[in-house]
Structure 1
Amino acid sequence: MAIARFFRGSTFKRRLTYLAIVVLPDEAAAFQAYRLLHYHGISPEHLAIVGAGYSSPDRVGLKTPLHIAFHKARSFGTIAACSGFVLSLVASLIFTPGWNTAAVVLTTTLLSGICAAVAGSLFGFLGEGSTASIYRHHLNHGRYLLMIEGPEKLVHWGQEVLGHYSAPSLY
C-alpha cells in the first residue's frame, strides 16, 4: 500500500485541507477500501476513487506531465533569466574600466540573460518528474487511486484504518 500525504493551500497559511493518496491494483480493491473507509465513519464527500469508470484525473486536479513540464520550464526560465541578467550586469560593471563601453555591458547582460533563460527552461522541462506524473503513470497501467481529503485528523484516521486492514489485495 503506497500512501502519499499532501496538503492544499499556501505554506504561509495554516494547513486547512490535507490529502492522502492510496494506489490500488484494481477496481475491486479500490471499491473495497472505499467501503471500508465509509464503514469507519469517513464521509463519501472526503473520498474519491480515480480510475476507469470513476473520477477522471483532471477532475480531481492531477495535471498532465506535459503541463507540469511547461510550468516548470517557464518558472525556471524566468528565475534563471533574472539572475543571469543581474549577475552579468554586476560583473560587467565591476570588470569594465569605465562607462565608455556601455554598449558592451548592455549586450553581454542581455545575452547572459537569454542564455540563462534557455538553460533554465531546459532544466525545468527535462528535470525530474513530479508526484502527479507518478500517479498518472499508475493510472495509465490500470491501477486506481483512492484519495482522502479533509482535516488532518480525518486523513490520519483514514490512513490508520487502511493500515490496520491492509491485505494482499491492497497495493
Structure 2
Amino acid sequence: MNYLIAVVPDRFQAEEAYTALEKGGIPLAKIAIAGKGYKTADELGLIDPVIQAKKKAIFMAYWLIPFGFFGGYVFDLITGLDTFSWAGEPGNHIVGGVLGAIGGAMGSVLVGGGVGWATNTGSDTVPYREYLEADKYLILVENLGDLGDRAVPILRKLSPETLQSYES
C-alpha cells in the first residue's frame, strides 16, 4: 500500500491536519492518525526494518547454505586438495562442503540485511516508529492517484516536520 505520511509534533496539529484533509475532500476512510491515543505502527502496517532484515537474512539462508555446501563440496572434489588428511578423501569433500555452507550462512547475513538486523541500524526507510516513540504523530493519507496530489498542498500549509511517501 502506498501512503503519504506527514509527521507533526503534537496531537493538536494532527487533529488540525485531519480536519483540513476532511475539508479538502479527502475521504475519511483514506486518512489515519498514528500516535498516542490513535493507531499504532503495527495496526497501520508500517514495516519494522529490523524484523524485515531478519526475515530477509533467513530467507537468503534457505538457499545460500545448501548452495554453499554444494559449492564447497564440488570445489574440493575438483581441486583434489588434501587439507585434512585425517578425514580421508570423502571426508575432505564433506569438510569442504561444510565450510562452503558456513560461507553461505555468512553470505545470507551480509547480503540478506542481517548486518542491519544484528547491529540494529535498520534500513534506508524513514524511521516512522522512532517518531512515534518520540511522542510525535503521523498523518497517513492512502495515496491513490490524485488523492495524494490533493493532500500534499493541504498538509504543506500546516508545516509538518516531514512529508514523504511510503510504500509498505
Same fold (TM over 0.5): yes
Partner of 1:151: 144
State how far apart, in whole Å, the 2-side matches of 1:160 and 1:44 are.
17
The correspondence for 2:95, drawn from 99, 107, 119, is: 107
**Compared CA separation, residues 83 and 134, structure 1 to 2 (3 A):** farther
The structure with more radius of gyration = 2
Shift of 1:35: 1.1
3-state SS of paired residue (1:21): strand
Q: TM-score, normalised by structure 2?
A: 0.72
Task: Please give the alpha-carbon distance, in whole angstroms, between the structure 2 residues aligned to 1:160 and 1:131.
Answer: 26
Residue of structure 2 in register with 1:58 after alignment: 42
How far apart are residue 118 of structure 1 and its match?
4.7
Q: Name the aligned partner's letter for residue 33 of structure 1.
A: A
1: CA distance, partners of 2:122 / 2:105: 20
| CA drift at 1:70 | 3.0
Which of 108, 111, 128 is the equivalent residue of 1:135? 128
Q: TM-score, normalised by structure 1?
A: 0.71
Alignment RMSD: 2.8
Say if 1:73 and 1:124, in contact at 8 Å, map to a contact too.
no
Where relative contact order (Cα < 8 A, 6+ residues apart) is larger, the structure is 2
After superposition, residues 38-77 of structure 1 pair within 5 angstroms as 38-64=22-48, 67-77=51-61
